[in-house]
Structure formats: structure tokens, C-alpha cells
Amino acid sequence: MNLISGHFIFFVLAVLLLYYAVPRKSQNVLLVAASYLFYFSISLWFPLILIVVTVVTWLIAMQLFLKRQHRKTFFILALVFNLAILVVFKVHHFFVPQILSRLDMFGWQDQTLGLHILIPVGMSFYILQAISFVVDCYQGRLASFPGLMDFSLYLAYFPKLTAGPIERPGSFLPKLLKARTVDNEKIAKAFALLLIGLVRKIVVADPLLAAVPAGLFQDPGAYTAVQLISMALLFGLGLYFDFSGYTDIVRGISGFFGIELSPNFRWPLFSKGISDFWNRWHISLSHWLRDNIFYPLTRMFLKKNIRSDNWKAVFIPPVVTMALSGFWHGTRAHFLVWGLIMGLLLAVERLWRVKVNPVRRIVPGTLRNMGSIVFTMGLIFACSIPFMVPLAKIVPYMKGVSKLNGLHAANFRIFVFLVPGLLIDLIQFRANDELVFMKWHSSFQAAAIAFAVLAVLFMSQVYVPGAFLYQGF
């Protein structure tokens, strides 16, 4: 069930009507049922895997919360269980051909079904939430242990199921215990987020992504240097507006149910450094990696040597953290290369700021900020080529870029679709408020809403809304 479809709109409206018709104690049960119905609409197999993860994790975490004996054993067992499931499904492409060939011997030739069984949508997100829950139980961070129904909703809640945000149990679970009232202000906020997300997705992201040739990254030799650069830039920006649009949409939908989801982006196009970028891009994943990988590794190395010249503490934590981020995105080699590059950039930036940083002493503030933004985004884009291009195609791709040809035939009109997205980001960034539009005069609000609705309706007829890219991770 595509989130940008009439079926999903009908589904949400039906669930909302039932949600506010049933007693408060039944609302979570209804949401769990609705979430699994939504998941069943994608595949009959996906919910079965989620049920197993939910029940096993909940039972083991209960032993941790109750402080039973052998807590460390239970903790390791829970981590191994969840990580093993994630790893097995992540590396399916290594053994799917062998499995399908064996099945073919017994007359099963439906390879599409086999691949569907092995690629559960949303698994990368709910497994990290399950691990967060286990860690919080082990470290005693939860005030109370949730029932199985509430924990099921924590993992399966349909607005965030397929692509996050990755919610922390300590912030999400208490919301399930409170009475959820939705007043006019909350409805207006939810509608604003929903509309902003639709503009980002339908008006901006879909046209940008549709303009990128299907074979751009597989056959770079067929394109000019200008095409290779401009189309990769379109893909990167399209990915951002697609994912941020998704986040706004699901946060808006969740707001109608009185459950606030975490923001996942804070205008990363205005980042002033690599670490600043990762504090603004896919925030819930960045914070999960920071809290569960980066901080523990840093503390481990600093315990052995707290000196400022402890190179292991400077280099190993960010490199390992970002390498794991690359693996989370996919097990292809180019994702790992991308993660290693990003980790090295974070380590070098940290050294630069602590040991050198002459820019701060020489360049004035405003000019320094503008230069930092341009330099950071240029560096992020250049170092994200391995994220987009398969490893075997990176060298041909860079050779194609180095030719510097194709400028005479360049067509940059497609970049016009960036204007609404960049304008929204700029207004929000300058006000440091994602809902600054709600503070405008009513006449300006009405004009903005009318323009946004008309733009969404028009562009949805021109471009068929595609699936959100991050659902593929």
C-alpha cells in the first residue's frame, strides 16, 4: 500500500474514525491491528517476521528489566537474535540464487516470491528500535516495562513502520500510556506537516528523480560529464526531498492520532561541517549510531588513554560507526566504501577543529558561515558518489566526469523544481522553526495553502507518485 495513494488515504480515514469511536483503553489495540493490516497489504510474510521479533525481544527484555540472574547472557542473546535476523536478510543476495536453484529442483519457479520473502520492508528500522529497547532495559533506563500490546505498537506503528523515524523507547512508550486528545492546534500542526511533506515529495522529489536516467550509474560511459554531475546532484537532492517529505507526511498522519513522532531532518543543506550535517540528516539513525556505537567506542578508548593525542579515540569510533551506517544502508561494497569515507571525514574534521582551525581566526563570521555551507555540501556530494555508484563503476564514472564535456548541450530547466523545496527549507532554517508558516498572517497562510494544494494536485497528475526511496533500505 503506497503512502501516496487513494487506498492509503481511505485506510487512514477509516482507522481515524474507529480510533476516536472506541474507548481509550482499546485505542492501542486498534492501532496494532491497523498496523499489521497495513503490513499485510505489502506482503503476507512480513508481519510474521515482525511478530517473531516482537515476541522474542519482549520476552528476553522482560528478564533484563526484572533484574533476573544471568542478565548479561540474556542481553547478549537479545542482541545476537536481532542482529542475526538483520544480517541474514541484509546479505540475502549472496545466497538467494542458491536457495532459488534448490527450490527450482522441486518445481518452485516463482523467484519474485522468493525475493519478497527475503526483503522485509521496514526491517532495518524496527530492528534498531528493538535493540534500543533491549539496551534501555539492560541499563535500567525505563521507568516501567510495557505490556506486549504496547511494545508491539512501538515496533509496528504503521506511520513509521516502513522507513522510520527510529523512535527511542524512553520517549515513545510513555506516549502510549497517556490520554491522547487532539485539539484544533494539533490538527493544524498535523495538517501543516502533511502538506509540507506532500510538496517536498510530489512537487519537488518526484520530478527530480524522474529526470535521472535509469542507467546513469550503471553505464556512466554513455553520458557526458555535465550529465554525470548534474544528474547525480539531482538524485542526491531528490533523495533528500523524498525522505524528508516522507518524514513530514508520516509525522503529520501520526499527529492526527495524537502521537508525536520525532523530526528526522533539520535543514541539512545548510550544514556548516560534516558533523553538523550528520546532526541534521536522518537524525534518528545518526543519534542511534552515536548513542549505541560511537559513544561506547569512544569511552572504551579514552579509558585506556585520556590524552588529546589518542589517535585511536579520534579515528576508530567515527570510522567504525559510519562503516556500520554503510552496512545498514546495504551490504554492497560501495555502501561500505561510502561509510568509511564519511567516517574518515568526521575524524579529520575533529582533528582540524581541535588542532588547527585557522579559518575561525581569520575569516569573518558571515563569510565563514557561507563558505562553510558551500564547502560542506560540495564535499558531502563528492564523497557520496560511492553511495550512488556501484563499486565497479566508480572509476569509469570519475573518468567520465573528468572529461568536462557536454556543457553546450546541458539542460538545467529541471532544476526549477528545486525552487519550492529550497524556499521551504530557507524559510524554516532562518526562523529555526519547521512550522513558522503557522505564524503568518491568515491571508498569507490561506494563499500558501491554496498554492501548495494546487501544486500537489497538478504535479500528481503529471508525475505518478513513486515509492519512497528509503523504504528500500
Task: Tell me the three cell numbers of residue 165.
Answer: 523515524
Same domain, yes or no: 115 and 40 = yes
Same domain, yes or no: 126 and 251 = no
Asked whether residue 134 is assigned to any structural domain, the reply reads: yes
Same domain, yes or no: 20 and 46 = yes
Same domain, yes or no: 142 and 10 = yes
Looking at 177, 210, 236, which one is the last position of a domain? 177
What element of type H or E holds 293?
none
Same domain, yes or no: 80 and 142 = yes
Q: What is the extent of the structural domain holding 326?
A: 269-402
Counted domains in the chain: 3
Average pLDDT of the residues of the chain: 90
Residue 180 burial by Cβ neighbours in a 10 Å radius (0-12, 13-18, 19+) = middle
Same domain, yes or no: 149 and 291 = no
Asked whether residue 348 is assigned to any structural domain, the reply reads: yes
What is the rounded CA–CA span in Å between residue 319 and residue 210? 34
Same domain, yes or no: 324 and 378 = yes
Write the pLDDT tens digit of every residue in 188-199.
Answer: 999 999 999 999
Same domain, yes or no: 342 and 464 = no
What is the rounded CA–CA span in Å between residue 326 and residue 337? 8
Write the pLDDT tens digit of every residue in 63-112.
Answer: 999 887 889 999 999 999 999 999 988 876 555 555 556 555 555 555 44
Asked whether residue 1 is assigned to any structural domain, the reply reads: no
Looking at 177, 196, 225, which one is the last position of a domain? 177
Write the pLDDT tens digit of every residue in 271-328.
Answer: 999 999 999 999 999 999 999 999 999 999 888 777 666 788 889 999 999 999 999 9
Kindly report the number of other CB atoms within 10 A of residue 100's CB atom.
Answer: 17
Confidence band (pLDDT; 50, 70, 90) for 114?
very low
- Assess contact for 114 and 99: CB atoms under 8 A: yes
Confidence band (pLDDT; 50, 70, 90) for 116?
very low
What are the phi and psi torsion angles at 187 (to 5°)?
Answer: -65, -45
Looking at 125, 147, 177, which one is the last position of a domain? 177
Question: In this predicted structure, what is the pLDDT of residue 353?
Answer: 73
Which of 34, 7, 2 is CA-nearest to residue 18? Answer: 34
